[in-house]
Chain A
Amino acid sequence: MIHGPNIEIVRQNDVNVVNLLNEEILDEAIIAEITDSLFAFVVENPAANILLNFSKVKHLSSSALGMLIRLNKHISETKGNLKLCSIAPSLLEIFVITRLNNVFEIYEQQTEALTSF
């Protein structure tokens, strides 16, 4: 298990579950830290299955979503998979407006997401 101030990565069989620990992902510095940790993880673990769990997140800025798009591109290039789960209904709105709900596979529950890889 990897544990940082903003993320925690727990290995569940062949899936790396990334728990986002902040209630608010708005601050540029926090987004940059999360981005760095995730990109570093992907570089060390190419072709990894990654599940981002949003259950703790209540507020998300659009640049955080920009970070997700870049991360997704990077992960697909390394032949890995990125999926998302447990996104609060209030956060889902911006995913729908920006059509990111079609870019990402999004699951309501972690359990169903885990079996989808």
Chain B
Amino acid sequence: MATNFFAEIQIPSDYQQAKKVEDDILHAAMHFDYPDQDIFAIRLCLEEALTNAIRHGNGMDDNKKVDIRYYVDSKRVEIDIIDQGNGFKLEDVPDPREMDNIDQPNGRGILLMKSYLNVIEYNKKGNGIHMVKYKDKAVE
């Protein structure tokens, strides 16, 4: 049986294709028996990161691609997602919990990822995200 899964994939800005990669990562985590709440967390963060890359980064432009790299073993899931957009600055994203923003339909993705991942980092340009979820380890 496999001791780890590693892949590098490029997809167009398309939700259906993003879902396929998402499923592969989830199935790999299931292979290593991650608890249900970890699987939930991984799916949630993948959805948020991929939606951000496709919608905000690449602006749904079919000609722009999303690069995904993942590594899964019995201890951790590590995912890098890079879009071909101009990037963004974390400090420009308002806190969706503030009274002024709580009524806004958008802007909760980053907060959710921060709350469900053990490690979350952006590259300098702001078009790439690095995510780590350790198996069965609470987020501080």
Interchain CB contact under 8 A, B39 and A98: yes
Interchain CB contact under 8 A, B39 and A62: yes
Identity of the chain A residue whose Cβ is nearest the Cβ of B22 in the assembled complex: A99
Interface string of A50-78 (1 = CB under 8 A from B): 00000000000111011001000000000
Interface string of B37-56 (1 = CB under 8 A from A): 00110010000000000000
- Number of B positions contacting A (CB below 8 A): 15
With beta carbons under 8 angstroms apart, the residue of B26, B33, B43 that contacts A63 is B33
* Contact size range, A: 10 to 19
Which label, helix, strand, loop or mixed, suits the secondary structure of the A interface? helix
Interchain CB contact under 8 A, A99 and B23: yes
Question: In the complex, what distance in Å separates the CA atom of A99 from the CA atom of B23?
Answer: 8
Interchain CB contact under 8 A, A93 and B23: no
Q: Is B98 an interface residue (CB 8 A)?
A: no
Interchain CB contact under 8 A, A62 and B36: yes
